[in-house]
Chains A and B, each alone.
Chain A
Amino acid sequence: MIGTGYFASVDEVVERLAEQGYLASAPVATTVFLADRLGRPLLVEGPAGVGKTELARAVSAATGSRLVRLQCYEGVDESRALYEWNHAKQLLRITAGRDEGWDRARADIFTEEYLLSRPLLTAISGDEPTVLLVDEVDKADVEIEGLLLEVLGDFQVTVPELGTIVAKRRPFTVLTSNATRDLSDALRRRCLFLHIDFPEPELERRIVRAKVPGVDEALTASVVAVVGALRAMDLRKAPSVAEAVDWARTLLALGADTLDEEVVRASLGVIVKHQDDITRVRDRLRLDEALDGAAS
């Protein structure tokens, strides 16, 4: 069996992710199913806040497997991602066995007891079902990609002193990227590619209602319609699903049951995060004009 074999069909993916509060669109569900069946890592790209990391979490919860997370950042290296020798413990061991010969000591200090495993090794070495999340892989340096190739291509890790450790059970692997840097083709071709875009209005309405219980249908529809219009507006930072949910929550807290100029103007900061964008949105939605009309 090559794949991880968590799911039997695409519909089952949709159903079980929904139980965890993750409403998957058709592309997401299909690709998750394929990654599961073919045992390939899943490279997820898309704008911030569409639920890339959340997807890995939902899969791990839906399948009852542990989640191993490697958060990438500039300068993350082998000893943070893969494994490290526990130098302090090795030194103690050498000091403790003062009288023994070098050969015995050497045979002893390079064993698994002195190996600190980091996320990638942890994900591969365990027996239990595992979801490995390599988050924001585009933030890491190019060198790390080379490291990932062995892990993601063959699901094995080579430790020179110990030999090659092959995964007993393949982890379900998710890599996320915000595309700040172009990933190398070598890495891309080992993965299934999934671009999560902003959801269709219908799906987004369902997401908002699931995340914010208590918000009524009409208000949800208005929120999604406005957020959709803002996305078409060519802003510096288009509002994402996360922002739509936040906004719905804010409106609920403000006790608004319909959208009007007053409410939108007061809460615009929740969905639009740059001053230029706010100016542009006010302009386009004619917020100020409408206010003048009311004042005169």
Chain B
Amino acid sequence: MTGAGLPERLVELVTALRGHGVTAGPSETVDAAAVAEVLGLADRERLREGLAAALLRRAGQRPVFDAVFDVCFPLGVGVPEGARERDRDLDDLRAELVAALAAEDAGGLARLAGIAVEAFGRYGSGSGGGFSAYEALEKVRPQTLLVRVLAETGGGRGDFTDRLERDEVRRRIEAFRAAVRTEARRRTAEARGRQRVLEHAVAPSADGVDFLVANREQLAELRRTIHPLSRRLATRLAARRRRANRGHIDIRRTLRRSLSTGGVPLRPAYRRRRPGRPEIVLVCDMSGSVAGFADFTMLLVQALRDQFSRVRVFGFIDTVDEITHLVHTGAADPEGLSARIHAEATLSTWDGHSDYGRAFRHFTERHAEAITAKTSLLILGDGRTNGGDPNLEALRAMVSPARHAHWLNPERRALWAGGDSEADRYAEVVPMHECRNTRQLTTLVGRLLPT
């Protein structure tokens, strides 16, 4: 890398970060340049840490930054050392990998990742070609090496920690997979241009993952953010309540206090207001398409339950049932929550396609008493009725007694009018908000929840 190219690289890095939701302005770019000047380019890992310190504002942005950094400031150019020599034999590679995993040889693992991508990850040819981590990992299948690695390390010490060995090896294998992904991105960036890779091949940070397309690991990752998230929201709500406390003077207490200062009211006493703790009712579409979103929101509200006087949760597909008790006990085992809800509650009588109209009608018939003047009602769903009657009347009947009512829709706003979605018509009855990822959900919950 030449010195003259550095500003361009930094700008490219910052632009890519912005594209992935990291807010970094020109002043951050200038900071980054100052960092590069102070640290120099000799040590790549130091440069990485330094740039991260200047550009990032939150811990959750780090994975995105690392991926972008690896593309903009690649470790090397071209085919890695050691992958050049000869045609690689898969069995040899796997054997070497076992040895490296057992010995926890970081350098060796990085080299093997390079070889795996070069030898097994190539697809296409010419300018259309590239390198795929998926292809390479499918061939090498490092996850199947677990037993062999364990045999190699052998639980040798006869110690208590041996029983942790399996988890430890799994972590190392996961690290190897990550190294392969990074390597594939680097090679592809060389073959097809950095810009393309920066736009498409960098996974979004956890709070930017779309609920509707999140895979299993991403959902698990999301669940891990629930606790910190609920804590932050609770602090925010509490702070707002405190602020709302100022203002009204309590005459009686002020006069009593003034006795100690000779009748001059030096320290006014303010009236304490009882914090209003609202009731919350959650009505969730539990059909397959939006289940991940409903899951997450239920757990979040559950974690926030001490902020409310009462939380009730209803699930529906084509009919509605109360699932409060399941959510309540389900917090201990969030992964199995969805399965238990489907097994133990009656949510559907037909074929598992959601029917909003029917579900709303059943709700007004059976659970109308759940919604009172103290209730905040949250409806979660994509509003896709599969062609059924939207039954706006029933929705009006649900919404009208409630103090607040909101609809959270995990679909992009642009799609609301299309297909069998009745979202636009429902939006006339109840304010509807786009809620595609945790970032949006956090802002919404913070804003919507009444004090």
Contact = CB atoms under 8 A, between A and B. Distances in A.
A260 interface: yes
A26 interface: yes
Contacts of A38: 31, 34-35, 38
Interface of A: 10, 26-27, 30-31, 33-34, 37-38, 40, 45-46, 141-142, 179-182, 185, 188-189, 192-195, 197, 218, 221-222, 225-226, 228-229, 232, 234, 236, 258-261, 264, 285-286
B231 A26 contact: no
A180 B235 contact: yes
Contacts of B148: none
Contacts of A222: 159-161
Contact of B46 (A30, A45, A188, A197): A30
Contacts of A229: 164, 167-168
Contacts of B18: none
Closest 10 CB pairs between A and B?
Answer: A259-B160, A195-B59, A30-B49, A27-B49, A192-B53, A225-B161, A229-B164, A188-B57, A31-B53, A222-B161
B232 A181 contact: yes
B159 A179 contact: no
A27 B35 CA distance: 13
Contact of B163 (A34, A197, A285): A285
B62 interface: yes
B386 interface: no
Contacts of B59: 45-46, 179, 195, 197
B309 interface: no
B2 interface: no
B161 A259 contact: yes
Nearest to B236: A181
A192 B231 CA distance: 25
A193 B39 contact: no
Contact of A26 (B46, B62, B167, B239): B46
A27 B58 CA distance: 15
Contact of B39 (A30, A218, A225): A30
Contacts of B236: 181-182
B171 interface: yes
Interface in B108-166: 157, 159-161, 163-164
A153 B90 CA distance: 57
A197 B45 CA distance: 16
A192 B35 CA distance: 10
Given A31-B53, A185-B23, A141 B231 contact: no
23 contacts: A26-B49, A27-B49, A31-B50, A31-B53, A34-B50, A34-B54, A38-B38, A40-B31, A45-B59, A46-B59, A141-B239, A180-B235, A182-B236, A185-B57, A197-B59, A218-B159, A222-B159, A226-B160, A232-B167, A259-B159, A259-B160, A259-B161, A264-B160
Interface of B: 23, 25, 27-28, 31, 34-35, 38-39, 43, 45-46, 49-50, 52-54, 56-59, 62, 157, 159-161, 163-164, 167-168, 171, 224, 227-228, 231-232, 235-236, 239
A182 B232 contact: yes
B53 A34 contact: yes
B84 to A, nearest CB: 30
Nearest to A143: B243
Contact of B38 (A34, A228, A236, A258): A34
A189 B57 CA distance: 7
A251 to B, nearest CB: 11
Contacts of B52: 27, 193
Nearest to A37: B38
A230 to B, nearest CB: 9
A181 B239 contact: yes
State the majority secondary structure of interface residues on B. helix
Nearest to A234: B224
B161 A226 contact: yes
A182 B31 CA distance: 22
Contacts of B163: 285-286
A179 to B, nearest CB: 7
Contacts of B46: 10, 26, 30
Contacts of B157: 218
Contacts of B239: 141-142, 181
| Interface core residue of A34, A38, A229, A236 (most chain B CB under 10 Å) | A34
Nearest to A225: B161
Contacts of B235: 180-181
Nearest to B157: A218
Given A180-B231, A225-B161, A259-B160, A34 B39 contact: yes
A226 B164 contact: yes
Which of A37, A193, A194, A261 has the most CB atoms of chain B within a 10 A radius of its CB?
A: A193
A198 to B, nearest CB: 12
A27 B46 CA distance: 7
B237 to A, nearest CB: 11
A26 B47 CA distance: 11
Given A38-B38, A189-B57, A195 B160 contact: no
B195 to A, nearest CB: 27
Contacts of B232: 179-182
A137 to B, nearest CB: 13
Contacts of B43: 10
Nearest to B47: A30
A226 to B, nearest CB: 6
Contact of B54 (A26, A180, A192, A218): A192
A140 to B, nearest CB: 11
A30 B53 contact: yes
Given A26-B45, A31-B50, A189-B28, A232 B171 contact: yes
B156 to A, nearest CB: 12
A30 B35 CA distance: 10
A225 to B, nearest CB: 4
A232 B166 CA distance: 13
A225 B168 contact: yes
Given A31-B49, A195-B59, A234-B224, A258 B160 contact: yes
A45 B58 CA distance: 9
A7 to B, nearest CB: 11
Contacts of A221: 161
B163 to A, nearest CB: 7
Nearest to A138: B235
B49 A261 contact: no
A193 B164 contact: no
Contacts of A236: 227
Nearest to B24: A189
A33 B53 CA distance: 11
Contacts of B227: 236
Given A30-B50, A182-B236, A226-B160, 15 more contacts: A26-B49, A30-B46, A30-B53, A31-B53, A34-B38, A142-B239, A179-B228, A181-B235, A188-B57, A189-B57, A192-B53, A193-B52, A195-B59, A229-B164, A258-B160
